[in-house]
Amino acid sequence: MKSHVKLQSKQGVGHPQHNTFLFTSAVRAALCSPLWSLALGVVVAVASAGPALAGNATSRVQDESTAVAREKMEAIFQLALADDVAGRHGQARKWFDALQSTELQEASAVPSAVNLAVLGRFEDAKSAFDKLASNPDSRVSSYAKLWQLWLFARTHAGKPSALQKQLIAPAKAIKAKDAPAKALAALFAGKGSASEVFAAIEAESFPSEALRQDARAEAAFFVGGYLQYVRQDKTAALKIYRHELPSSNASIERPLIKQAIEAL
């Protein structure tokens, strides 16, 4: 998914081995921000000011408090992303939960939903992606709908033949705009192939090679899931997972690819 959310996760996380220091520092910076001192100074001013100045001083306190709160929320978001990349998914969940009902709830919605799947909370992940499927941003909604297909396949308890038939209609209903997402939807609809998905990625224009690698990791997750759970071809799925894992460091699907490899 090439949404602003996923791009932010790449730019904010970087290499896993540096995450703990960088993002702990980010939180420390937020908590020790000069804004705290400034806000405190304004509170003192309110106490000593005359009635004519009290209103302006109170307004300033509110503005500075909002800025401090925003800085803290952004630091928490970065910590959630960093912990997820470092494999601390339970701790990341606590950070994501802390962002609920805040102004960063929407910005963190996609990685938060993926985190639920990593933790094996598939029903909660379904609910999260159901909401994202109606997002006005077609990139987000298409990504969420692919996740709906993956989650349905992952939790299906019936026969593979029945699963394949049940996936056709929702897969065809995905109105993706970019070629890789269209190829993935076609795959789940039973009309595409793994090679067509990766060919679409190679033919696509990306601002950087890092984004192309991320697209390949995303594709490996969905293609591998289709092969593993729908086609029941675990050997082919494992081959794709292993091939793309080394270059998936910045991808939010990486933990799930690793889990799949370990399970197979």
Domain housing 199: 126-264
The answer to whether residues 92 and 76 belong to one domain is yes
The answer to whether residues 71 and 19 belong to one domain is yes
Report the percentage of the chain scoring pLDDT > 90. Answer: 70
- Of 93, 119, 145, the last residue of a domain is 119
The answer to whether residues 212 and 114 belong to one domain is no
Tokens standing for 86? 């470092």
The answer to whether residues 258 and 170 belong to one domain is yes
The answer to whether residues 238 and 218 belong to one domain is yes
Give pLDDT tens digits for 118-161: 999 999 999 999 999 999 999 999 999 999 999 999 999 999 99
Helices marked H in the chain: 4-13, 19-31, 34-48, 51-85, 89-98, 109-118, 122-132, 138-155, 160-172, 179-188, 194-203, 209-225, 234-244, 254-263
Taking the C-alpha atoms of residue 241 and residue 260, their distance in angstroms, rounded to an integer, is: 8
The answer to whether residues 57 and 167 belong to one domain is no
The answer to whether residues 111 and 153 belong to one domain is no
Instruction: Say how many domains are in the chain.
Output: 2
Contact between 229 and 61 under an 8 Å Cβ cutoff? The reply is: no
Helix (H, G, I), strand (E, B) or coil at 32: coil
- Of 94, 119, 144, the last residue of a domain is 119
The answer to whether residues 257 and 139 belong to one domain is yes
pLDDT value at position 18?
35
The answer to whether residues 190 and 260 belong to one domain is yes
Taking the C-alpha atoms of residue 186 and residue 207, their distance in angstroms, rounded to an integer, is: 25
Q: Alpha-carbon Rg of the chain, whole angstroms?
A: 22
pLDDT value at position 67?
76
Give pLDDT tens digits for 186-213: 999 999 999 999 999 999 999 999 999 9
Contact between 115 and 63 under an 8 Å Cβ cutoff? The reply is: no
pLDDT at 37 over 60: no
Taking the C-alpha atoms of residue 140 and residue 4, their distance in angstroms, rounded to an integer, is: 9
